[in-house]
């Protein structure tokens, strides 16, 4: 990834409101289509972006009630990688302390949720989370081919 140029950078700011993750997923789709990613991969990116936005909307408690997305197309000459950053200016969390969900435990647990990050990691190639007092950034990449 290092050494690759940013061929395109698109920024999207969404209000923390119902269904706004859909707007994010459409922009993700547009960017992935522009770099002619395969339809299945595009769909995976779309779902990962939806999950990241929902997390920001649901958990961040950001005062500005906004989600900031950046879509970057990276490559040496031709598009090779799509990098998406989903950022909020919320309270942050400690990713290392989030319990890894398992279906066996969830089946009997009261709280069935807690799958978002696992799904994002499963669908994208690389995922990095930076979180602290200034909020949370989740940076995820997917190769074109």
Partner 1 sequence: MTESLRLRVDRRDSLAVIYTEGYINNQGGEEIASAAYKLIADGDKVLLLNLDGTKIVNSIGISILIEIIEKMLEIDGRLAFCCLTPTIEKTFHIMGLAQYAGIYPDEPAALEALAAGGTPTAGSAG
Ligand X SMILES: Nc1ncnc2c1ncn2[C@@H]1O[C@H](COP(=O)(O)OP(=O)(O)O)[C@@H](O)[C@H]1O
Choose one: 3-11, 12-20, 22-30, 86-94; the region binding ligand X (CB under 6 A): 86-94
Residue 79 binding target from ligand X, partner 1, a second copy, none, CB below 5 to 8 Å by type: partner 1
CA-nearest of 101, 72, 91 to 7 is 72
Tell whether residue 43 is a contact of partner 1 (CB under 8 A). Answer: yes
The footprint of a second copy on residues 7-26 (CB under 8 A) is 8-15, 17, 19-20, 22-23, 25-26
Residue 136 binding target from a second copy, ligand X, partner 1, none, CB below 5 to 8 Å by type: ligand X
Kind of pairing between the strands at 126-132 and 135-143:
antiparallel
The footprint of partner 1 on residues 50-69 (CB under 8 A) is 50-51, 54
d(CA 14, CA 32): 19
Beta carbons within 10 angstroms of residue 43's beta carbon: 16
Selected from 24, 27, 31, 55, the binder of ligand X by CB under 6 A is 55
Instruction: By CB under 6 A, name the binding residues for ligand X.
Output: 55-56, 58-60, 88, 90, 93, 98, 113-117, 136
């Amino acid at each position: 990834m290092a050494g690759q140029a940013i061929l395109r950078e698109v920024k999207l700011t969404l209000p923390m409101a119902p269904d706004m993750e859909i707007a994010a997923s459409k922009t993700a789709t547009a960017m992935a289509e522009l770099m002619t990613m395969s339809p299945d991969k595009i769909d995976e990116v779309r779902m990962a972006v939806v999950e990241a936005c929902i997390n920001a909307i649901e958990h961040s408690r950001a005062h500005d009630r906004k989600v900031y997305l950046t879509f970057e197309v990276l490559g040496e000459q031709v598009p090779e990688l799509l990098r998406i950053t989903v950022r909020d200016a919320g309270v942050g969390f400690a990713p290392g302390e989030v319990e890894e969900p398992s279906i066996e435990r969830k089946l009997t647990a009261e709280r069935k949720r807690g799958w978002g990050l696992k799904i994002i990691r499963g669908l994208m190639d690389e995922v990095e989370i930076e979180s602290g007092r200034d909020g949370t950034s989740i940076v995820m990449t997917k190769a074109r081919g």
